[in-house]
Amino acid sequence: MSKAFTKESDGDDDEDMALPALPSGTRNYITPAGYARLRAEFMTLLDEERPKIVEIVSWAAKNGDRSENGDYLYGKKRLREIDRRLRFLTKRLDIAEVADPSLHYGSDQIFFGATVTYANAKGEERTITIKGIDESDSLNGEVSWVSPIARALLKAREGDEVQLMTPGGVERLEVLEVRYPKPQLG
């Protein structure tokens, strides 16, 4: 069947779906470790994965009929995925603003990079770390600095009470502890 009659998406329309978009007019804050992880992923894709897939596609193309060649078809699809991720990472790394949370070590006020322990009105305690959009992981207690909980907590201090707007109404939270990583020497 001719390729003219098949629908094959380049995937450009879903390019930025991997991570949430930044709110307009804000900066893309990221911790030094988060920046290093994104950069390492970029370099691995560019220097290792992509050349391997290009080699496989080149080899598969030499084997003749491409329409039923699984190595060729999968390789081309994987190349599109890698290229899409590389474009996304390039954009995010270009606008990233690295903010070192260890600069606030010893402070009791909540800023980007803080690890905060808070309690709700029922006395339930929870600990979260405020990180960048590209590095937060809610399963590990990491929230984006633009999330509602982070916005409610930012600039508060230990002992302060903040209000969090939830779908069920306003929830009062008490800040119990604020920690930052120790500065690295050398």
Using one digit for the tens of pLDDT, what is the confidence trace for 128-170? 999 999 899 989 999 999 999 999 999 999 999 999 998 989 9
Between CA 93 and CA 98 the distance in angstroms is 10
To the nearest whole percent, how much of the chain has pLDDT over 70? Answer: 84
Output the average pLDDT for the chain.
86
Between CA 62 and CA 55 the distance in angstroms is 11
The pLDDT, as a whole number, for residue 19 is 54
Beta strands 96-98 and 28-30 are parallel
Side chain identity at residue 136, one-letter code: S
The yes or no reply on domain 27-98 and CATH 3.30.420.40 is no
How many distinct helices (H) and strands (E) make up the chain?
Answer: 4, 7
**In the chain, what are the helix, strand and coil shares in percent, each to the nearest 5?**
40, 20, 35
Domain borders along the chain are 27-98, 105-179
Say if CB 38 and CB 107 are below 8 A apart.
no
Between CA 26 and CA 36 the distance in angstroms is 21
Say if CB 105 and CB 92 are below 8 A apart.
no
Q: Residue 2 pLDDT more than 50?
A: no
The pLDDT, as a whole number, for residue 21 is 66
Where residue 101 falls among pLDDT bands split at 50, 70, 90?
Answer: very high
Q: Residue 126 pLDDT more than 80?
A: yes
DSSP structural state of residue 185: P
**Domain 105-179, CATH among 3.10.50.30, 3.40.50.1820, 3.40.1000.10, 3.30.70.1900:** 3.10.50.30
